[in-house]
Structure 1
Amino acid sequence: IALLGFNACRQATPPPDMSARRNVTDELNRTVAINANPQRIISLAPNLTEMLFALGLGDRVIGVTSYCDYPPAAKTKEKVGDTLTPNLERIIALKPDLVIVTTSSQLEKITRQLDQLQIPVYVTNPRSVNEVLASLQHLGDVTGATAQAAKLHDELQTRINAVTARVAAQPKPKALFLVQDTPLLVAGSDTFLHDLVTLAGGESITVDVKGYPQFSREIAIARAPEVIIDPGRPENKALADSVLRKDYATTPAIKQNRIIHIDPDLTNRPGPRLIEGLEQLAHALHPTAFAAQP
Structure 2
Amino acid sequence: MKSCRRLFLGVLLACCVAWLFPPQAAAEPPEAQPSPRYPARIVTLAPSLTEIVYALDRGELLVGASTYSDFPAVAKSLPRVGSYARPDLERIVALRPDCCLAVAGMTPPEAISRLQDLGVAVHVLDTASLEAVLASILKIGRLLDASDRAASLVGDMRQTIERVARERDNGPRPAVLYQIGFAPMHAACRGTFINELLELAGGRNVCAAMQGYPQLTNEQAVAFRPEVILIPTMGTDAFDAAKAQWNAWPEVPAVRQGRIFFLDSDLFDRPGPRLTQGLEELVRLLRQPPTPAAGKQP
Same fold at TM > 0.5: yes
2:286 partner letter: L
| Counterpart secondary structure, 1:79 | coil
Change (3 A) 1:233 1:178: same
Is the aligned partner of 1:66 residue 2:60? Answer: no
Preserved contact between residue 42 and residue 63 of structure 2 (Cα < 8 Å):
yes
Q: Distance in 1 between matches of 2:144 and 2:198?
A: 31
Partner of 2:142: 141
2:244 paired residue among 242, 245, 265? 242
Q: Distance in 2 between matches of 1:110 and 1:252?
A: 45
1:59-88, CA deviations, whole angstroms, 9 ceiling, x for partnerless residues? 001100121011111011111122221111
Q: Distance in 2 between matches of 1:134 and 1:105?
A: 17
Preserved contact between residue 262 and residue 281 of structure 1 (Cα < 8 Å):
no
Partner of 1:118: 119
Q: Distance in 1 between matches of 2:232 and 2:101?
A: 26
Preserved contact between residue 167 and residue 286 of structure 1 (Cα < 8 Å):
no
Change (3 A) 1:116 1:42: same
Partner of 1:51: 52
The Cα of 1:37 is off from its aligned counterpart by 0.7
Preserved contact between residue 181 and residue 234 of structure 2 (Cα < 8 Å):
no
Q: Distance in 1 between matches of 2:235 and 2:263?
A: 8
Is the aligned partner of 1:220 residue 2:217? Answer: no
The Cα of 1:258 is off from its aligned counterpart by 0.9
1:1-294 aligned at under 5 Å gives the runs 36-233=37-234, 235-236=236-237, 237-246=239-248, 248-287=249-288
| Counterpart secondary structure, 2:163 | helix
Q: Percent identity?
A: 35
| Counterpart secondary structure, 2:184 | coil
Shift >4 Å, 4+ stretches: none
The Cα of 1:176 is off from its aligned counterpart by 0.6
Counting matched residue pairs gives 256
2:177 partner letter: L
The Cα of 1:57 is off from its aligned counterpart by 0.7
The Cα of 1:48 is off from its aligned counterpart by 0.5
User: Max radius of gyration: which structure?
Assistant: 2
2:162 partner letter: N
| Counterpart secondary structure, 2:86 | coil
1:87-120, CA deviations, whole angstroms, 9 ceiling, x for partnerless residues? 1111111111110111242421110101112211
Between 1:276-285 and 1:81-90, the stretch displaced more is: 81-90
Preserved contact between residue 177 and residue 230 of structure 2 (Cα < 8 Å):
yes
1:220-241, CA deviations, whole angstroms, 9 ceiling, x for partnerless residues? 2112111111112573444442
Preserved contact between residue 205 and residue 220 of structure 1 (Cα < 8 Å):
no
The Cα of 1:36 is off from its aligned counterpart by 3.0
Change (3 A) 1:65 1:183: same
Between 1:95-104 and 1:48-57, the stretch displaced more is: 95-104
| Gaps in structure 2 of 5+ consecutive residues | 1-32, 290-298
1:160-209, CA deviations, whole angstroms, 9 ceiling, x for partnerless residues? 22222222424211111002232121112111111111111101011112
Change (3 A) 1:160 1:223: same
1:258-288, CA deviations, whole angstroms, 9 ceiling, x for partnerless residues? 1121100111111111111111111110248
Change (3 A) 1:180 1:235: closer
The Cα of 1:243 is off from its aligned counterpart by 2.6
Preserved contact between residue 176 and residue 206 of structure 1 (Cα < 8 Å):
yes
Q: Distance in 2 between matches of 1:244 and 1:141?
A: 47
The Cα of 1:20 is off from its aligned counterpart by 8.0
| Gaps in structure 1 of 5+ consecutive residues | 1-18, 22-34, 289-294
Between 1:121-130 and 1:70-79, the stretch displaced more is: 121-130
